[in-house]
Structure 1
Amino acid sequence: MDAKGENPVEKFGMYIAHIGVNAEADEDTMRIVDEFSGLLGLEHMTVAPVSEFAGDFVEVMKPGHGSGERGHIGFHVNDVEAAAKWFDEHGSKIDWDHCAKNPDGSLFLVYFEKEIAGFAIHLTAQK
């Protein structure tokens, strides 16, 4: 909460969208996805060329594409731009140089400048 008593989780409908794991080698990517998929009964999905997903819960980043020392945590928010501006104005700086936009120019994903416990943190519109 901030000084005004605003809670960003409530204000922006935040919840954990997914956890990102950085694979160290190409052969690790599929093994890690398969392990999470098997453990949790999740579908293996390819969403982007730089990662593979176990359902919506775990994103395994291919070598050289992962953010964060250990990986990343993605938080869904109902309005990425408003949430990013709010956090930035409240002292949790956003890395505006590394954000992703939708085709219409609206923000889809932004990272915070600071990692926590080796994890990069991002806000996303992804569910």
Structure 2
Amino acid sequence: METDFKKKKTILQKFRFAFRGMIIPYQTEISIRIQTGVAIAVAVSGFYLHISKTDWLWIIIAAALVLITEILNTAIEKLVDLVSPGYNELAGKVKDIAAGAVFLAATLSVVIGILVFIPYL
């Protein structure tokens, strides 16, 4: 007997699950909402300054990298909390590593933003 979890899913169901997976971090994590706000502000600046198509590509990649790593960080944190509900030093290190990936992506995006926008100012 198959459980609901193992039943074959339609394409529409798969898209719904994926969309829900993108929404959950916005419901639970303030950092992704802040990062999205920053990405929107950067996009508005790009429109205002009429940046080139190539520069748009860099800005979109940088913003996506930050949001993707933040979503993955949220997933890792929730999984760690599930398997290790109490304090565990290794669990803490796993969470720190995931947060470090977000920090690295955010730092890289700031560098890209500086390199893109400085010539327009």
Q: What TM-score comes out, normalization by structure 1 length? A: 0.23
TM-score normalised per structure 2: 0.24
Specify which structure has the higher proportion of strand: 1
Question: RCO (CA 8 Å, sep 6+): is it higher in 1 or 2?
Answer: 2
Identify the structure with the greater helix proportion: 2
